Amino acid sequence: MLDAKAVRRDFPILDRKVSGGKPLVYLDNAATTQKPTQVIDAMDRYYRETNSNVHRSIHELGERATEQYVAAHERVAEFIGASSYEEIVFTKNCTEALNLVAYSRGLRELKPGDEVVISQMEHHSNFVPWLEVCRLTGAKLRIVPLTPEGMLDMAAYEAALSRRTRLVSLTAMSNVLGTITPVKEIVKLGHEAGATVIIDGAQSVPHSATDVRATGEDFLAFSAHKMLGPTGIGVLYGRREKLLEMEPFLFGGEMIGRVTNEGATWNDLPWKFEAGTPVIAEAVGLHAAIDYLDALGMDAIHQHERKLVERAFERLAHLPVKIIGPPPSKRGGLVAVEMEGIHAHDLASLLNDQGVAVRAGHHCAQPLMNALGIASTVRASFYVYNTPAEVDAFVAALEHARKVFQL
């Protein structure tokens, strides 16, 4: 079992007092997570002892920086079950990783009559790129609906697949509903239709064990900052044969093999997709974050979050709030709620007054909100350092808000 109280000692920011001296209750982890001293120290050591550009330097610092940068690719590959570091591309964030596939594969390959399948619950980063690519290519965007419970409608998904389907891009876990989707089945059905399958793992990779060889997706995108790592670095996993087929997304230094007045050739994988000076210190931080998560154990993390969600459901049952999405057994570590009579932004502000940090709004999922007939929600999202007492503090702050509004 994960000992959240012991874990908290590694996160100096959690000792902060906010809102006039109240203990910080940080429940905005689906937006970004806090960083342990191990990650902060690793990046600090890099800048103090190793800082240099990578790949072509032949001096000691450059060689050492290159070793650490390559080692970060290898560590990510190990963490998600990839075959080689060649299948790991570092990007700016998960959004850029998804855009890389949308533009390097979708924009170059789709034509009128082709179809792209996504779902109603996608984050804008896995919705808007496909809207734009379909607009530019004349391909058709097919959007899979949800069941009344808030799950992906698998019958509708299967019906959406056809001989015209070229790309499927679906989330592994909704950042609003918490819905966990059956990735292995999604991939199997997509491949049977002849489609390339992309999985948005921004909300899944940080919270449960990932094995891309077991699930079989062609691409997987996620961000370091949602898994205790730094901002500014994301990951695109791509099966080697798929990446070899693709042209680069960005052009310039580092990603080239040879340049002449007449043209250019591209570097080996994964470097052909990493134009310019890369995210070196951030890669070092991501490596440290993965080491930290592995030490805790991904199964233990998943079970810890499940217990927090179950506690939240139990406590919220006594309040006049509506929880959006499926029950605890079918969701990840977050709850999004509505309280009738209070706008989500006002509610979040009142929670902040009690020291409770949550997210309010449409959560970059406006098509989902429109389908649900909801303008906005308050979302509490849990991670390794959150405790049952903080779940209770969240519920108590909601009760305080209800009394303030005399509901």
Euclidean distance between CA atoms 385 and 211, whole angstroms: 24
Amino acid code (one letter) for 103: Y
Q: Given 364, 369, 372, 378, which residue is catalytic?
A: 364
Cα–Cα distances (Å) from 124 to 131, 170, 340, in that order, read 10, 12, 26
By CB atoms closer than 10 A (0-12, 13-18, 19+), residue 319 is middle
DSSP strand pairing (22-23 vs 196-200)? unpaired
By CB atoms closer than 10 A (0-12, 13-18, 19+), residue 109 is middle
Euclidean distance between CA atoms 154 and 62, whole angstroms: 50
Amino acid code (one letter) for 291: D
* Nearest alpha-carbon partner for 316 in 241, 396, 384: 396
CA Rg value for the chain: 22
Helical spans, DSSP H, in 81-225: 94-101, 108-109, 128-137, 154-160, 183-192, 212-215
Q: What is the largest CA-CA distance in the chain?
A: 73
Q: Is the dihedral of CA 385, 391, 394, 396 positive or negative?
A: negative
Could you tell me the two tokens for 208? 């449960």
* Nearest alpha-carbon partner for 235 in 41, 125, 100: 100
CB 379, CB 363: distance < 8 Å: yes
Cα–Cα distances (Å) from 32 to 89, 93, 228, 323, in that order, read 21, 12, 8, 22
**In this structure, what is the dihedral angle of CA atoms 145, 104, 289, 385, given to the nearest 10 degrees?**
-20
Q: What does DSSP assign to residue 203? A: T
Annotation marks residue 94 as catalytic: no
Q: What does DSSP assign to residue 200? A: E
Question: Which residue numbers are catalytic?
Answer: 364
